[in-house]
């Protein structure tokens, strides 16, 4: 149970996901399961796709029609609780927040983990955005096999070891 061990259940995760049709384009998935006083996801979104509202303690609600999956909310979320997902044939393309050094590089293989921190599969890094704008929370673009859509959440801290 997430309140006890920090791991969101499969049902909780799936409830935050868009439909598979919607995932043909990149969409942000927000895993902010508890009310906390925080709204940078709303204020950073250039497309007004995320609403927290008057009470900053309310949970964010995302409008997948407006979300472009740009990833700006991903590196602005203080809780690192947002990930961008997209289904591309037999692959899932992800944009994850990453705050470790050294950063992975384009083309690197990485170990992908689930929400319990267990290795589930291998992934490939496609792009690393770590400029001024990302302000030390890098945006890592990676691909993982499509089967892991609801399980993949981040990568193990590199160096990568087989």
Binding site for another protein (CB under 8 A): 2-8, 31-40, 43-44, 55-57, 76-81, 99-101, 113-118, 135-137, 153-154, 156-157
Q: Which is nearer to another protein, 76 or 86 (CB)?
A: 76
Question: Is 25 within 8 Å of 71 (Cβ atoms)?
Answer: no
**Cross-strand bridge partners of residue 156:** none
> In this complex, which beta carbon is closest to another protein, that of residue 21 or of residue 95?
95
Q: How far is the CB of 44 from another protein (least distance, A)?
A: 7
Contacts of 119 by beta carbon, 8 Å cutoff, 6+ apart: 111, 112, 113, 156
Q: Work out how close the CB of 21 gets to another protein at its nearest, in angstroms, rounded to a whole number.
A: 27
Residue 81 or 84: the one with the smaller Cβ distance to another protein is 81
User: Omega before 102 cis (within 30°)?
Assistant: yes
Tell which residue, 60, 43, 39, has the closest CA to residue 51: 60
Nearer to another protein (CB atom), residue 67 or residue 77: 77
């Amino acid at each position: 149970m997430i309140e006890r061990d920090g791991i969101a259940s499969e049902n909780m995760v799936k409830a935050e996901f868009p439909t598979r049709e919607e995932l043909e384009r990149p969409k942000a998935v927000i895993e902010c399961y508890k009310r906390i006083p925080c709204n940078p996801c709303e204020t950073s979104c250039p497309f007004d796709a995320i609403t927290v509202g008057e009470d900053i303690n309310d949970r964010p609600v995302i409008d997948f029609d407006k979300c472009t999956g740009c990833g700006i909310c991903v590196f602005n979320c203080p809780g690192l609780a947002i990930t961008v997902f997209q289904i591309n044939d037999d692959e899932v393309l992800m944009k994850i927040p990453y705050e470790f050094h050294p950063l992975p590089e384009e083309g690197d293989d990485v170990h992908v983990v689930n929400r319990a921190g267990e290795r589930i599969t291998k992934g490939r890094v496609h792009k690393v955005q770590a400029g001024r704008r990302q302000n030390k929370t890098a945006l890592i673009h990676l691909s993982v096999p499509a089967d892991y859509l609801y399980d993949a959440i981040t990568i193990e801290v590199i160096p990568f070891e087989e």
